Structure 1
């Protein structure tokens, strides 16, 4: 219950500050395990994307974010759980697998870090591992536009797809980013940035 109270409060506050455009909500399965794959451009992507979903969503957030009193409290109560970057975080992986096994929705950002320029980066192997290990269906979300007072930020939700268990890892990584790219207007679907990720 508290999740939904906070959900609507945050959604209302964000809608007052930003101009939010969302399409493709009908593509989101209301039940069953689901892996939501989103590109990453700002700190606000996780809570914003979460409150646009028609079902409760869980997501990873870097452990440092939980040190900010208000923001940390907010994302924790929107079902965020910590992940330690820089090395494989087995606890975060176990938590992710448990969420999917319980037929809940898990949102992850395959690039691992925010993009400095907005250009898509390579997907990391973690998203592929979770999809192939659990067989969970995936949906891509492409974020475009600009965060700012009364500026327009767009969320485009694509159709459900799956990653075959026998697909080679690098091909699966490219598939993920291609699906996300297809949701971003003007993006070059077959190409994305291979520049070093920016840690923030």
Structure 2
């Protein structure tokens, strides 16, 4: 069994025992082919949460600083993570991400770049729009709502894939494509809050 599968099983057990996790819209994730998951970012645990409740393996970007220690580097690399330089256009990371999508993998991004300590969904970085426009991946918006506190309730909501064909037809740039994706993520959260409120 791969390190990824072992980690997924362990974290899924942890989340299932100590939190009340609910997953909505799982059917919106294609079972095959490239998928670009774009999620809001509220905690360092977000990648493990999303990975734990997905049947498909996923890859994800992580800030370059996390790869500086050899042991952490080895673990992150074996579970599908790759480094990205924050605050700049990291061509190596962009090329790596596109390659993974071309190979049919699931790539998870957090367009905001850093965690939102207030829970408010902020503007996204252009990288997500770049991948969405340049690849043939299904672009699936995701929102994580709730608290990672012990026995807290947390909900993962996957929305329908974003229509990128129309964005390409009108020659949208990466920033515009990212904002369209962020609007979908905000919409998922708003709909959830209205239903639960």
Q: TM-score range by the shorter chain?
A: 0.7 to 0.9
> Which stretch of structure 1 is more off in the superposition, 74-83 or 35-44?
74-83
Structure 1 position 116, deviation (Å): 2.1
Question: Would you say the 8 A contact 1:28–1:54 is kept in 2?
Answer: no
Question: Would you say the 8 A contact 2:36–2:138 is kept in 1?
Answer: yes
1:33 alignment partner in structure 2: 34
> Which stretch of structure 1 is more off in the superposition, 170-179 or 53-62?
170-179
1:179 alignment partner in structure 2: 184
Report the number of matched residues. Answer: 187
Q: CA RMSD in A?
A: 2.0
2:15 alignment partner in structure 1: 14
> Which stretch of structure 1 is more off in the superposition, 155-164 or 168-177?
168-177
Evaluate the alpha carbon distance shift between residue 16 and residue 66 of structure 1 in structure 2; reply closer, same or farther with a 3 A threshold: farther
Structure 1 position 179, deviation (Å): 0.9
> Which stretch of structure 1 is more off in the superposition, 167-176 or 101-110?
167-176
Question: Would you say the 8 A contact 1:112–1:124 is kept in 2?
Answer: yes
Structure 1 position 74, deviation (Å): 5.1
1:20-99 map, 5 Å: 20-67=21-68, 75-99=76-100
Secondary structure at the counterpart of residue 95 of structure 2: helix
Runs of 4+ in 1 over 6 A off after TM superposition: 68-71
**What residue ranges of structure 1 are gaps of 5+ in the alignment?**
188-200
Question: Would you say the 8 A contact 1:50–1:57 is kept in 2?
Answer: yes
Return the match for 2:172 from 140, 164, 167: 167
Alpha-carbon distance in 2 for matches of 1:71, 1:28: 29
In the alignment, is residue 133 of structure 1 matched against residue 140 of structure 2?
Answer: no
Taking structure 2 as the reference length, the TM-score comes to: 0.86
CA deviation map 1:50-98 (0-9, x unaligned) = 2222201000011223357886665443311111112121111111010
CA deviation map 1:139-169 (0-9, x unaligned) = 1111111111111111111112232322244
